[in-house]
Chain A
Amino acid sequence: MRLLRTAATLTLFLAASTVAAQNGSDHLHVAVRRVHISAGFSGEEVFIYGRVPAGTERVVSVISSPTTATVRLMEKGRVGPFWLGVHQYAVHRVPRLYLVSLSCPQGNVLYPCPESDALAAVNPALARIGEIVGLRELEERAEVDVLRGKAGRQEVLRLLRGFWKLQASRGLYAVNTNRIRLNDDSMYYYQAVLPAEAPEGRYEISAFFLAGDGVIGTASTELFVGRSGMVAWLSRLAERRALLYGLITIGIALAAGWLAGTVFRKRTNH
């Protein structure tokens, strides 16, 4: 299965290299246009590839769900023997999914570029075109309201670091420093891992091509992540016909209880 998938990906990649060689603007491709969340979905690997502009030294790619949400967070602290929330915040404009992948020219698989070094190597160049990646992007973009407790800049930064960690533990936020591979300086490719908790929506995928201290090219495309089949039907029903959905749920619950009761009564009587 794994072999089959790899073979299929490779074929696709080779085919794409041919196409890319003919078409000068093919800097970013996604192997699938749409990721289906169906009953068997438990995360998905998405193959992303493209041609790099001549002279590219590093490639950075970002996948983010542009649906920004407001999340309410609290910071726990120790009070006496107990842990309780000492600060409460509302954080606006944070992506639900944010995956940064980088190429790692100096590192190898055993010694990948450390995350901080890799980001420090690309962020100055990206900043010139008004972009930034990693936790710093969150720090720049997110708007934080302190709802309870007193909090300064340091506390807010600590909050965002903690939030990143929380999201990373669910696979929703990540910086992969050694993910993108460059092939003969003409193509790049990588596998992006969408977790099982990946939200629905239109994801934006962007690629930045860096040489020296500057960005020599950018590309962006979209990926649709949507529910399909039974999963789609049920979630729409739950959203749009909530009363019906609730009644159905109760109906099933009572029927299940009654069924078990009846079956067991018959068995006990025998």
Chain B
Amino acid sequence: MAGPATRRLSGTVLAAVLLAASGLAAAEGPRLAAGHAGTPCVACHPPGQPGGRPTRCSGDGCHADVTRTYLSSDHDRRHLKASQLACTACHGAHPVLSGRAALTLACENRVDRVCSGCHEAERYAVGAPAPSRKSIPARGGGVHTSARERRGCEAVAISCFTCHGSHTILAPGNRESPVSRQRIAVTCGHCHPEELERYRASSHAAGVAASDGVSPTCVSCHGAHAIAPATGMRTPTGAEEVVFTCAECHEDPDVLRTSGLPLAVIDSYESSVHGIAYAHGIHDVATCVSCHGAHLVLAASDPRSKVNPDNIRTTCAACHSSVSAGMLAAVRHPGGRPGVRGVLARLKLYFPVAGTSVNPLLVSGMGGVVGILSGIFGVGGGFLMTPLLILIGIPAAVAAATDAAQITAGASSGAISHARLGNVDFRMGLAMVAGSWPGGFVGVQVVHTLRTMGNFDFFLKLLYVLLLGFTGITMFVEGVRTLRGRSPGSEPGPGRLSRLFDRLPIQVSFPKSGLRTSVFVPITAGFVVGILAAFLGVGGGFILMPVMIYMIGIPTRVAVGTGLFQIVLTCAYVTLQQSVTNHTVDVLLAVALFAGSTIGAQLGVMASRRLKGEQIRVLLAVIVLGVMLVLLYQLMATPEHLIQFATSGGGH
């Protein structure tokens, strides 16, 4: 333990040493004079200071501002507090170099060496040690270092200071630091203004501004210290590695989850024609930056994006003289949807009888939409469902047969609800079924026989178009006329044919429908519908509907309920017949359809209670006409394949 006497003694010795040193310094002249010419030694080394250690450089009004700045920096705050006089660490002691001289020192790479003295060796005296990634890479290799060497000191004097600042050095994690995520782009932009301008408009910059914590800044792609030339092949942004650089974020599950970016874009790029070539070591093909740009990276939905559908052809034209739709399809790689929606979108189920795999949710969704129509209009929805199923890749025979099972479920749900509301005329329904079952049976046989003659489907579709066109237009005109207020809420009433029906034998009363007519009327109607249903591969509801409303004269709501009841029985029968004779009913597909259609049918019934009869009729007319137009288009449009399977198409 040193007593006061000892301290005094050491002070005296120090003074002597300093005097000697100043003598030496005088001998060296210009070196010491570099920054502190004329400054006496005692200004920094006051007598009595233990160990000859100088006080802060701010003493006696010197460098007060700089010192204050320095004291707020991370160098002082975190690491060198009270233990070292940090000024000399960079500026040197004898001589002390001024700011301009420090630039020169930077140019000689001495600053790098000064900083690396701590940062590479991690010689932080106090506080947290610098993480290893902060260590300064070896000289050379970095584009900044080589530029400095190439162009000379005055032209490009890039050193640690240039980006990190000098006295105000702050850790990169500090938002105020010029190398923080928030400010690094501006810092780099001092020397790279064009790149800054493009980057600022990019979605990457928008992410950084929104503090999403994952969007890339300059250093994410180019690296921080050993910044490689962008044009080099084997650099993070060079042709050989850029895909992997982008993949660092675009394949990172955490980044994808946080940012909601599409999944597997790199994966899907790799299976595109460009990606396959890239994987085989051909590096003059399009990589991420060729199409998406380097700094101005934007989502494809952005109209400014180079890969926006409006701009993509121009982008491709940079390499390809002509761009076809096929070429665009071959390189398109939208990636998968992230999150739960993505998982649901990727869901696949193998349907055993259909013999192919389809997303079951898609099937259920279709079931739901058709179910709503079924509930509102009392139609089975087969006229919509069968073509939709074929569209998603279900074989036509399976689509038509499974549809019958689906209609059974959807219609039974609707029929039960309508029965509770008192809308089902069971007597009428059963009479119709008595006609439709034999009708369906006859229809199936007739279809089988006629098929062999060829083009049967075509003529049926044509017939369908005429039938739908006629009923659609009639219902539409009538419904609109009623809606315009001729007599709101009125029912069409029995048609002219009913007088003929009155003369037929076995007159039965149908109290629910408020009718008394021959039992042969519903049976005949059922028979015709059964045949048509078998011909066209549908439940026949929307052919039955106009027949019941306009020809027999059943009130619309009762017609809807009774129609559904009749459809349940007819389609259950058809399902069984299809299962036994053709083995074309896919129970899994049917279940996926029920899941949607039964719920949809309920929603439809709820909606139908809010609608007036004539509104329902106009809506149904619109749908019927729509289907008619689609069928007409199918007959007239050039088919994708001129050679087709002759057994495909509707019909049981």
Contact = CB atoms under 8 A, between A and B. Distances in A.
B579 A259 contact: no
B576 A247 contact: yes
Nearest to A227: B352
Given A253-B406, A253-B572, A261-B413, 15 more contacts: A40-B350, A41-B350, A74-B646, A76-B643, A76-B644, A110-B285, A234-B353, A238-B583, A246-B576, A247-B576, A257-B409, A257-B594, A260-B599, A263-B602, A265-B420
Interface stretch (B105-113, B154-162, B630-638): B630-638
A245 B590 CA distance: 12
Given A73-B646, A85-B458, A169-B641, A253 B350 contact: no
B572 A254 contact: yes
Nearest to A265: B420
A253 B417 contact: no
A110 to B, nearest CB: 5
Given A85-B458, A163-B643, A257 B598 contact: yes
Contacts, number: 204
Nearest to B359: A42
B287 interface: no
Contacts of A248: 587
B348 A253 contact: no
Interface footprint category on B = 35 or more
A73 B587 contact: no
B455 interface: yes
B350 A239 contact: no
Q: Which of B282, B350, B595 has the most CB of A within 10 A?
A: B350
Given A252-B594, A261-B417, A88 B350 contact: no
A127 interface: no
B412 A258 contact: yes
A232 B410 CA distance: 27
B280 interface: yes
Contacts of B145: none
A161 B642 CA distance: 10
Which applies to chain B's interface (DSSP): helix, strand, loop or mixed?
helix
A71 interface: yes
A73 B643 contact: yes
Given A83-B635, A260-B599, A265-B417, A250 B408 contact: yes
A173 B406 CA distance: 33
Contacts of A252: 409, 587, 590-591, 594
Interface in B352-408: 352-353, 355-357, 405-406, 408
Given A73-B645, A234-B587, A110 B579 contact: no
B412 A39 contact: no
Contacts of B637: 83
Contact of A245 (B408, B453, B579, B636): B579
A24 B114 CA distance: 67
A71 B644 CA distance: 10
Interface residues of A, number: 68
Contacts of B605: 264
B228 interface: no
Contacts of A76: 639, 642-644
B276 interface: yes
Interface of B: 267, 276-277, 280, 282, 285, 348-350, 352-353, 355-357, 405-406, 408-417, 420, 452-455, 458, 462, 568, 572, 575-580, 583, 585-588, 590-591, 594-595, 598-599, 601-602, 605-606, 635-647
Contact of A257 (B355, B357, B411): B411
Interface string A178-221: 00000000000000000011010000000000000000000000
Given A197-B355, A227-B352, A239-B583, A253 B575 contact: yes
Contacts of A256: 409, 412-413, 591, 594-595, 598
Query: Which 10 A-B pairs give the minimum distances between C-beta atoms?
Result: A162-B643, A246-B579, A257-B412, A260-B598, A261-B416, A257-B413, A253-B409, A42-B357, A72-B646, A256-B594
A67 to B, nearest CB: 13
Nearest to B360: A39
25 contacts: A2-B267, A39-B350, A40-B349, A73-B643, A73-B644, A74-B454, A77-B642, A82-B462, A85-B644, A166-B641, A196-B357, A197-B355, A227-B352, A230-B352, A235-B352, A238-B352, A242-B583, A246-B576, A249-B575, A252-B587, A254-B572, A257-B408, A257-B415, A257-B594, A259-B598
A165 interface: yes
Q: Which of B408, B416, B637, B646 has the most CB of A within 10 A?
A: B646
B640 to A, nearest CB: 8
A126 interface: no
A88 B606 contact: no
Contacts of B638: 83
A108 interface: yes
Nearest to A38: B350
B636 A110 contact: no
Contacts of A71: 645
Contact of A82 (B353, B416, B635): B635
A75 interface: yes
A162 B405 CA distance: 34
Contacts of B645: 71-74, 166
A109 interface: yes
B602 A83 contact: no
Nearest to B637: A83
B601 A260 contact: yes
Given A82-B635, A83-B635, A162 B585 contact: no
Contact of B454 (A88, A169, A268): A88
Q: Which of A38, A74, A245, A265 has the most CB of B within 10 A?
A: A74
Given A41-B350, A108-B280, A250 B646 contact: no
A84 interface: yes
Contacts of A130: none
Nearest to A231: B352
A37 interface: yes
Contacts of B462: 82
A197 B356 contact: yes
B306 to A, nearest CB: 22
Contacts of A250: 405, 408, 572, 575-576
A151 interface: no
Given A37-B350, A108-B280, A249 B454 contact: no
A180 to B, nearest CB: 15
Interface in A142-160: 147-148, 158-159
A227 B635 CA distance: 37
Nearest to B636: A81
B352 A234 contact: yes
A7 interface: no
A43 B357 CA distance: 8
Contacts of A258: 412-413, 416
Contacts of A89: 646
Given A37-B350, A250-B575, A264 B583 contact: no
A129 to B, nearest CB: 31
A243 interface: yes
A186 B260 CA distance: 47
